[in-house]
Amino acid sequence: MSSWLPSIAYSNPTGGYWDPVTSTINWCEEDYYATPYAAEIVNTLTNLLFIYFAYLGIQSCRKQGHDTIFLVSFVGYLVVGTGSCLFHATLKYPMQLVDELSMIYTTCLMCYATFSYSRSRLFSLYLALFLLSLAIFITLYYHYLQDPAFHQNAYAILTAVVLTRSMYVMELNLRPRLKQSESEYKLLHKRSMTANEKSVSREEDRRDRKILGMMWVMIGFGLTTFLGGFFIWHLDNVYCSKLRVWRREIGLPWGILFEGHGWWHLMTGTGAYFYITWGIWLRHCLDGRQDEYDLSWPRFWSLPEVVRTKSANGDARYDPSKKT
């Protein structure tokens, strides 16, 4: 490959502006090969995706009137991207904590949004105190251990719990046959109903099934992208020495394509954006506002957004033909 691709050879820097390294982990990307002002240039720049997606999410929450908890979640998502950008640029331990702990805090916010819905104020208060205590414990224990594996496991467990709970709530509250018990469902549909009531009920069931189908597509796309990022990151860790040889053989800019942690940023950032957007749509549906909000996802490779329908706000820019 190196025999025919035009390329620039990797440099052999002796140090950089932010030396010495104080973080407890250093990734597979070589340090300061592109500029003395960013230790890991690809890992730094790929975090701009987080910042851009966070900006879009915050703007959408403000414009479309989504619940405040999701606005705060996108702010947390912004902090994750900014912290990771600073961490990879400097490889300093304080920036490492900003990067990694903000992931925990943002996931705790989504955990609160998921488990507190339709619960009493007292339950929500106890849940908030529990999650706050958990976040403090993880922070202090991680600072004591300084073992990245602890952070990674804590983050994975929290994410799995939130995702599983959200899928359960989605099915239980939107799947027509799960909204009530089986006996209640049969009684509801066998009792004397006018023709108009039956028509409305069937239409609502079709609407909710369609929404569920689209939500599962979002989940599948987001989860596949997220886990794909994990897999590439794992390969980056296992085959780091070989990847470094390959990068130097093919030179720049082609070696950038073999920066696995950079792909992790792009893919998990996309997956996380899909999850928060799905959470927004699910919350509106749980509030019975399926006819007021819809998912705008005109192309599979574009970003989804939960928007007010034309009937809800008279927004002439909303195009019903793009409903998915």
- Binding residues for Ca(2+) are 27, 29, 40
Which residues are part of a known binding site? 27, 29, 40, 88, 261, 265
* Amino acid identity at 301: W
C-alpha to C-alpha distance for 151 and 172, rounded to whole angstroms: 32
Nearest in space to 271 (alpha carbons), one of 237, 212, 231: 231
Residues 6+ positions from 90 with CB-CB distance below 8 Å: 18, 39
Backbone angle region of 258, left / alpha / beta, with phi > 0 → left and psi within -120 to 50 → alpha: alpha
Q: Which residues pair with 307 in a beta bridge?
A: 294
Nearest in space to 173 (alpha carbons), one of 219, 204, 129: 204
CB count in 10 Å sphere of residue 204: 13
Q: What is the dihedral of CA 139, 144, 149, 150, to 10 degrees?
A: -50
Which residues are part of a known binding site for Zn(2+)? 88, 261, 265
Looking at the chain, how many residues does it have?
A: 324
C-alpha to C-alpha distance for 111 and 277, rounded to whole angstroms: 15
